[in-house]
Amino acid sequence: MNKKNNIFFQQYENCVICEHNCQVNRKFEEGFCRTSDKFFISSVMTHVGEEKIINPTLAIFISGCNARCNFCYNSETAFNSTKGVEVSPKMLAKQIDFELAKNPKIETVSFLGGDPIPHLPKVIKTVSLVETKTKFVLNSNFYFTEKVLLEILDYFQVFLVDFKFGNDSCADKIAQLPNYTEILKRNLKILQKHNQFDKILIRHLLMPNHFDCCFVSVVDWLSENLPSVKFSLLDQFVGKEKLSKSEIEKAWKYLENKNSGSLKII
């Protein structure tokens, strides 16, 4: 870690990593994410259920999250930041090197959760300590500050952006993420501005009864502002409400017809 990144690491003492802007010392206090300065991993596994361009990936599931999605299928880990095993970046880097040596077919290493955001400083340190040549994927809701985004650009080969909501009302009501669309769109534009477009992979989870307000809004904005961006539609929603077959068919038809050629469907 160079001096610049050591300064980034100190944000645990006055946390403004994400846009909740809690400004707490996480050694002694909890902010919105209820995540301390301790780094817990719930599991490390080779995963083939992701998009083809990153499969197979070594998935590092980090405990904790800065969102509170009411449909979260992984809430036991996402909402419990001490779930699993406490590690240091050095320990995790060694485990990554071990797993990559054991399975040479692994194409990428993915940091996900929950969400990696609360522990981005330690994720960055981990990446810098891995000795094996590989590609790193940040799988995140991207609800972090512009300053943080600029700090991490050089560490990842894929930014898997979970573009969940098409408007602020849904984002705030469902996930407690104020000003979500402004922040996420700004961060995507920053990636584009800094020649990171080829690294971007957008993922959108189709939600029941959110076709126009979220799915269409996300797809239309991307088509107009990030044409030809890589896009992955997930239709395996898990929650109290069920996603209907007709909603799924309607979404795929929308992508095929209205937006044919404007997005690169993965």
| pLDDT at residue 12 tops 80 | yes
For the chain, domain boundaries: 38-265
Tokens of 144: 């972090």
Cβ distance 241 to 208 under 8 Å?
yes
CATH superfamily to which 38-265 belongs:
Aldolase class I (3.20.20.70)
Beta strands in 113-187 (DSSP E): 135-140, 158-162
pLDDT tens column, 104-146: 999 999 999 999 999 999 999 999 999 999 999 999 999 999 9
Categorize the per-residue pLDDT at 260 as very low, low, confident or very high, splitting at 50, 70 and 90: low
How confident is the prediction for the chain on average, in pLDDT? 93
Radius of gyration of the chain from Cα atoms?
18
- Is there a contact between 142 and 161 (Cβ–Cβ < 8 Å)? yes
d(Cα 212, Cα 157) in Å, to the nearest integer? 32
pLDDT attached to residue 259: 61
Strands (E) across the chain are located at 40-47, 57-62, 85-86, 108-112, 135-140, 158-162, 200-205, 230-234, 264-265
pLDDT for the residue numbered 4: 52
**Which pLDDT value is given to residue 11?**
81
What pLDDT, on a 0 to 100 scale, did the predictor assign at position 46? Answer: 95
Grouping H, G, I as helix, E, B as strand and the rest as coil, residue 120 is helix
pLDDT value, residue 5? 54
Q: What is the arithmetic mean of pLDDT over 188-194? A: 97
Task: Tell me the percentage of the chain whose pLDDT exceeds 90.
Answer: 83
At 194-214, the pLDDT tens digits run 999 999 999 999 999 999 999
Locate 163 and state its tokens.
């573009």
- Contacts within 8 Å (CB) and 24+ apart, 21-27: 21/145
- Residue 64: asked if its preceding bond is cis (omega within 30°), the reply is no
Enter the pTM of the model. Answer: 0.94
Hey, which residues does 85 pair with through a beta bridge? 41
The per-residue DSSP string of 76-94 comes to HHHT-TT-SEE--HHHHHH
Q: Are 141 and 111 in contact (CB under 8 A)?
A: no
> What letter does residue 52 receive in the DSSP assignment?
G
Strands 230-234 vs 200-205: parallel, antiparallel or unpaired: parallel
